[in-house]
Amino acid sequence: MNVPYSWLREFLPDLPEPEAVREVLDSLGLAVEAIHHLPRPPAGVVFGCVLKAEEIPGTELKKLEVDVGREVVTLVSGAPNVRAGIGLAVARPGAVLPDGTEVAAREIRGVTSEGMALSPAEMGVGEYAGGLLELPADALEPGRELAEVWPEEVVFELELTPNRADAFSVLGVARDLAAKLELELVEPSLEVEESSAPRFVTVEVEDPEGCDRYLARYAGGLEIGPSPLEAQRRLLAAGLRPINNVVDATNYTMWELGNPLHAFDLEEVKEGIVVRSAKAGEKVVTLDGVERQLVPEDLVIARRAGDGTEPVAIAGVMGAANSEVTEKTREVVLEAAHFDPVRVRLTARRLGLSTDSSYRFERGVDPNLPPRAAARFLHLLQRWTGCTVGDVVVDVGGDKPRREVPFRPGYANRLLGTAFESEAQLAALECLGCEVSGEAEPFVVRPPTWRVDLNIEEDLVEEVGRILGYEHVPTEPLALIPAPDNLGAEAPYRHEEALRRVMRGLGGWEVINYTWQSPAYLSLTRAPEPRLFFKNPMDSSKNALRTALYPGLLETLAANREERHRFFFELGHVFLDVEETRLAAVLGGPLLEANWQPPYGEGYPAVKGVLEALAARAGANVEVRPQPHQPLHPGVSGTVFWNDEPRGFIGRLHPEVEAALELGPVYLFELVLPLPEAERTFRDLPKFPPARRDLAVVVPEDVPHVEILDLIRQFGGPYLEAVELFDVYRGEPLAEGQKSLAYHLTFRHPERTLTDAEVDAEMERVIAAIIEAGYRIRE
User: What is the tens place of the pLDDT at every residue in 494-534?
Assistant: 889 999 999 999 889 999 999 999 999 999 999 999 999 99
User: How far is it, in rounded angstroms, from Cα 249 to Cα 318?
Assistant: 16
> Could you tell me the pLDDT band of residue 601, with boundaries at 50, 70 and 90?
low
Q: What pLDDT, on the 0 to 100 scale, is given for residue 683?
A: 73
Q: What pLDDT, on the 0 to 100 scale, is given for residue 632?
A: 96
Check whether 599 has a pLDDT greater than 80.
Answer: no
Q: What pLDDT, on the 0 to 100 scale, is given for residue 678?
A: 74
Q: What pLDDT, on the 0 to 100 scale, is given for residue 307?
A: 87
Find the mean pLDDT for residues 195-214. 91
Q: Which amino acid is located at 312 in the chain? A: V
Q: In sequence order, which residues have a C-beta less than 8 Å from that of residue 497 and are 6 or more positions away?
A: none
Q: Which amino acid is located at 206 in the chain? A: E
Lowest mean pLDDT among 152-166, 646-660, 682-696: 682-696
Q: What pLDDT, on the 0 to 100 scale, is given for residue 312?
A: 95
User: How far is it, in rounded angstroms, from Cα 518 to Cα 460?
Assistant: 42
Helix or strand (DSSP H, E) at 495: helix 491-505
> Could you tell me the pLDDT band of residue 486, with boundaries at 50, 70 and 90?
low
User: How far is it, in rounded angstroms, from Cα 161 to Cα 85?
Assistant: 44
Check whether 400 has a pLDDT greater than 70.
Answer: yes
Q: What pLDDT, on the 0 to 100 scale, is given for residue 595?
A: 53
Q: Which amino acid is located at 720 in the chain? A: L
Task: Count how many Cα atoms sit within 13 Å of the Cα of residue 695 in the half-sphere of its side chain.
Answer: 28
Tell how strand 194-195 and strand 388-390 pair up: parallel
Residue-wise pLDDT for 334-392, tens only, equals 999 999 999 999 999 999 999 999 999 999 999 999 999 999 999 999 999 999 999 99
Residue-wise pLDDT for 700-744, tens only, equals 998 988 899 989 999 999 999 999 989 999 999 999 999 999 999
Lowest mean pLDDT among 328-342, 463-477, 624-638, 645-659: 463-477
User: How far is it, in rounded angstroms, from Cα 551 to Cα 511?
Assistant: 12
- Give the residue among 725, 729, 720 at the shortest CA–CA distance from 765: 720
Check whether 637 has a pLDDT greater than 90.
Answer: yes
Check whether 543 has a pLDDT greater than 70.
Answer: yes
> Could you tell me the pLDDT band of residue 487, with boundaries at 50, 70 and 90?
low
Cis ω before 528 (30° cut-off from 0): no
Residue-wise pLDDT for 406-439, tens only, equals 999 999 999 898 999 999 999 999 999 999 999 9
Cis ω before 733 (30° cut-off from 0): yes
Cis ω before 341 (30° cut-off from 0): no
Contact 332, 219 (CB under 8 A): yes
- Give the residue among 36, 54, 126, 38 at the shortest CA–CA distance from 89: 126
> Could you tell me the pLDDT band of residue 238, with boundaries at 50, 70 and 90?
very high
Q: What pLDDT, on the 0 to 100 scale, is given for residue 476?
A: 75
- Give the residue among 563, 569, 523 at the shortest CA–CA distance from 546: 523
Find the mean pLDDT for residues 631-635. 94
Q: What angle do CA 426, 1, 290 make, to 5 degrees?
A: 130
- Give the residue among 303, 344, 165, 323 at the shortest CA–CA distance from 246: 323
Check whether 598 has a pLDDT greater than 60.
Answer: no
Q: What angle do CA 753, 755, 761 make, to 5 degrees?
A: 130
Q: What pLDDT, on the 0 to 100 scale, is given for residue 481?
A: 57
Q: Which residue has the higher pLDDT, 276 or 127?
A: 276
Find the mean pLDDT for residues 466-486. 74
Please tell me the pTM assigned to this model. 0.67
DSSP 595: S
Q: 10 Å Cβ neighbour count for 606?
A: 20
Cα dihedral 147→226→141→114 (10° resolution): 70
Find the mean pLDDT for residues 236-265. 95
User: How far is it, in rounded angstroms, from Cα 378 to Cα 385?
Assistant: 10
For a pLDDT cut of 90, what percent of the chain falls above it?
Answer: 83
Find the mean pLDDT for residues 19-46. 94
Contact 673, 582 (CB under 8 A): yes
Q: What backbone torsions phi and psi does residue 10 show, to the nearest 5 degrees?
A: -65, -35
Q: 10 Å Cβ neighbour count for 290?
A: 13
> Could you tell me the pLDDT band of residue 154, with boundaries at 50, 70 and 90?
very high
Contact 138, 221 (CB under 8 A): no
Task: Count how many Cα atoms sit within 13 Å of the Cα of residue 407 in the half-sphere of its side chain.
Answer: 33
- Give the residue among 121, 128, 384, 153 at the shortest CA–CA distance from 248: 384
Length of the chain: 779
Phi-psi label, residue 368: left if phi above 0, alpha if psi -120 to 50, beta otherwise:
alpha
Residue-wise pLDDT for 546-592, tens only, equals 999 999 999 999 999 878 778 999 999 999 999 999 999 999 988 76
Residue-wise pLDDT for 52-92, tens only, equals 999 999 898 999 999 999 899 999 999 999 999 999 999 99
